[in-house]
Amino acid sequence: MSLKVTKQEEDYSKWYHDIVLKAELADYSPVKGCMVIRPNGYAIWEKIQQTLDRMIKETGHQNAYFPLFIPESFLKKEKEHVEGFAPECAVVTHGGGKLLEEPLVVRPTSETIMYHMYAKWIQSYRDLPLKLNQWANVVRWEKRTRLFLRTTEFLWQEGHTAHATRKEAEEETHLMLDVYRRFAEDYLALPVLTGRKTAAERFAGAVETLCIEAMMQDKKGLQAGTSHLLGQNFAKAFDVKFQNEKGEWDYVWQTSWGVSSRLVGALIMAHSDDQGLVLPPKIAPTQIVIVPIYKTDDEKAAVLAFANKIGTDLRSRFSVHLDDREQFKPGYKYNHWEQQGVPLRLEIGPRDVASQHLMTARRTGGSKTPIPAGEQLAATIEKTFAEIQQLIFEKAKAFREVNTHRPQNEAEFREQLDAKGGFYCIDWCGDPELERKISDETKATIRLIPFDQPTALDLCLFSGKKAIHQVIWGRAY
């Protein structure tokens, strides 16, 4: 396969798809809107899963698994929920060769089926909090799809908790949003804004939706994770009640929160370049590639022996691939592994064997550096990885900051939005009608109401009325 990737500046969308296809992360499938996640892409998802699963368990949650199918009547029990999801559902009407008495919806999200069970399991305050998480596939019938970012079927985790008080449920939504923020920033090297959604952008059935929002390199926003306070809406619809310490019955307070395989898309879009994929060391399935360089048979024997020894030494702490393919020249291999996003390349030639050094080349650039192959090698590489991780994060953060604007009036906002995209910090009156009008006209939305608010607000940039908070407007995936 050709190693050439369309330039980002030429055609951002084509650049993205080139990277996904050429790095063999995913492929189109014969089922409209569904993708095939290939081994290179799935390995990234596995790293995401492993890390996040640990963080979810460390915060006191347990994994469980609920049915793929949801009786259609369940979805209808919470009014806003069904309005939000019914138009996106895939419906099973036949099973085992027969028409079903009641159609089954392929889960677009699992609130309804899970809370039916919660009603059975929860009787007393002693059964609370109930804190479950599920790793699963979900289906939402999408008109426009894009590999990883928006597909009809996608993979995700969905946490669902039930608490005795609103306060506890609120704390849970913030706790999990913070898990997502830490995960995005510390592992994906993806700087995110944290805040709340406006009512228009909330999850269907939620009282409040918290979110983390990232900026891609085309300056569009991307919602990278959400954490919903469901209040007692679903508890009332599914009769999830408990008896408190005084013996009184009350509805539970609930939360749900999730991130999906779109994070793989976010990772690609945020960091990659015209050479291909760029992966932060903490999430790269292959962290180090070793490329041996030799001409004669004698050189080959010495170089491969040394390369194998280095590989073996490093494998206890890193994931290492030794590319000893005979049919390709080193230069081809360099390009190949750069396109695959491997953070660090170790080049080993005859002179390196003699001097017991390795030449290191970072995927993120800079001059090649020789490092000694002795006892300190692993520690040196750890340090290098920490630097690379930090560099990728800082670069993305600086990019977001440069592309976050503070227009002086509506005309300036509209002009800038079209001319250069990005995020717009705007003091906002909170009028939902006005929000819809501006969204319809500009195709931008209020991405979030950041937790981080200025100490003083001007009047609303659009209505001239009193502003109630500062919000971020922008176009998004």
Applying CB under 8 A, which residues contact a copy of itself? 27, 29-31, 34-39, 42-43, 45-46, 62-71, 74, 86-97, 103-104, 106, 113, 116-117, 120-121, 132, 136-137, 139, 141, 143, 152-153, 155
Q: Which of 358, 105, 111, 357 is nearest to 258 (CA)?
A: 111
Give residues with Cβ within 8 angstroms of 9, minimum separation 6: none
What are 50's two structure tokens? 């492993």
Sign of the C-alpha dihedral computed for residues 330, 334, 337 and 339 taken in this order = negative
Q: Least distance from C-beta 92 to a copy of itself, angstroms?
A: 5
Q: Least distance from C-beta 90 to a copy of itself, angstroms?
A: 5
- Cβ nearer to a copy of itself, comparing 65 with 451: 65
> Is 169 within 8 Å of 255 (Cβ atoms)?
yes
- Cβ nearer to a copy of itself, comparing 95 with 372: 95
- Cβ nearer to a copy of itself, comparing 60 with 331: 60
- Cβ nearer to a copy of itself, comparing 96 with 247: 96
The position carrying tokens 């309005």 is: 83
Q: Least distance from C-beta 89 to a copy of itself, angstroms?
A: 8
Q: Strand pairing of 404-405 and 357-362?
A: unpaired
- DSSP H or E stretch at residue 330: helix 330-339
> Is 61 within 8 Å of 175 (Cβ atoms)?
no
Give one DSSP letter per residue of 408-423, joined into a string: SSHHHHHHHHHHH--E
Cis peptide before 129 (omega within 30 of 0): yes
- Cβ nearer to a copy of itself, comparing 254 with 470: 254
Cα–Cα distance between 337 and 349 in angstroms, integer? 18
Q: Least distance from C-beta 474 to a copy of itself, angstroms?
A: 27
> Is 464 within 8 Å of 436 (Cβ atoms)?
no
Which whole-number Å values give the CA distances from 150 to 191, 262, 286, in the listed order?
21, 7, 26
Q: Least distance from C-beta 432 to a copy of itself, angstroms?
A: 26
Q: Least distance from C-beta 244 to a copy of itself, angstroms?
A: 17
Q: Least distance from C-beta 355 to a copy of itself, angstroms?
A: 35
CA 32 to chain centre: 23
- Cβ nearer to a copy of itself, comparing 40 with 403: 40
Give one DSSP letter per residue of 210-223, joined into a string: EEEEEE-TTS-EEE
> Is 461 within 8 Å of 413 (Cβ atoms)?
yes
β-strand partners of 466: 459
- Cβ nearer to a copy of itself, comparing 75 with 388: 75
Q: Least distance from C-beta 247 to a copy of itself, angstroms?
A: 17
Q: Least distance from C-beta 222 to a copy of itself, angstroms?
A: 21
- Cβ nearer to a copy of itself, comparing 136 with 278: 136
> Is 111 within 8 Å of 235 (Cβ atoms)?
no
- Cβ nearer to a copy of itself, comparing 137 with 355: 137
Q: Least distance from C-beta 296 to a copy of itself, angstroms?
A: 26
- Cβ nearer to a copy of itself, comparing 120 with 437: 120
Q: Strand pairing of 423-428 and 469-474?
A: antiparallel
